[in-house]
Amino acid sequence: MTKQIFLAPFFKLILAICLLLGGGISGAHAADYKLEPIVKGLDLPWGIAFLPDGSFLVTELAGTLHHIYPHASANQISAPIKGVPEVYYSGQGGLMDIVLHPDYESNNLVYLSLAVGTDDANTLQIIRGRYTGKALEDVKVIFEAAPKRNTP
């Protein structure tokens, strides 16, 4: 009981100090930047990995992977990159994130997360593959969540 009596004024003091100090914090400022689209025509882009040359790889949730060249005329989007495994596309499931290997410049390895399976039995996989500029090769599953679930 005495502990509660002591703590109540202490918390009131802390609250008062916070309110006094908070008065000097300024409100939000108008943005000092301009949004400019660099690519159009993607369908549910989900993940992005920036390549050393300034281009980037973009996943689309439905299961396609594209190489985007933002400095090319008309913001060139590649055809879907071959070698990407079939994905289970439903709700938020599909081809999700993409990450470059820390030594990407020497090994061209990329990691992708994707949903696989069917309406009755689906799960998450993490895969690794070597990007050749046109296709994903040497694809290996390095993680699969278990058990598979019914999550349409």
- How is the chain split into domains, by residue range? 45-144
Burial of 90 (0-12, 13-18, 19+ CB in 10 A): middle
Q: Would you give the DSSP letter of residue 82?
A: B
* pLDDT of residue 42 exceeding 70: yes
**What is the average pLDDT value for the chain, to the nearest integer?**
87
The answer to whether residues 85 and 55 touch, using CB atoms and an 8 Å cutoff, is no
pTM: 0.75
Helix (H) or strand (E) holding 80: none
Strands (E), the chain: 45-50, 56-60, 65-69, 76-77, 95-100, 109-117, 122-131, 136-144
- Per-residue model confidence (pLDDT) at position 92: 84
Residue 89 has pLDDT above 70, yes or no: yes
Q: For the beta carbon of residue 48, count every other beta carbon within 10 angstroms.
A: 12
Nearest CA to 86 among 76, 97, 95?
95
CA distance 72 to 13: 60
Identify which has the larger pLDDT, 20 or 61: 61
What are the phi and psi torsion angles at 107 (to 5°)?
-120, -10
The region of weakest confidence among 2-16, 29-43, 100-114, 117-131 is 2-16
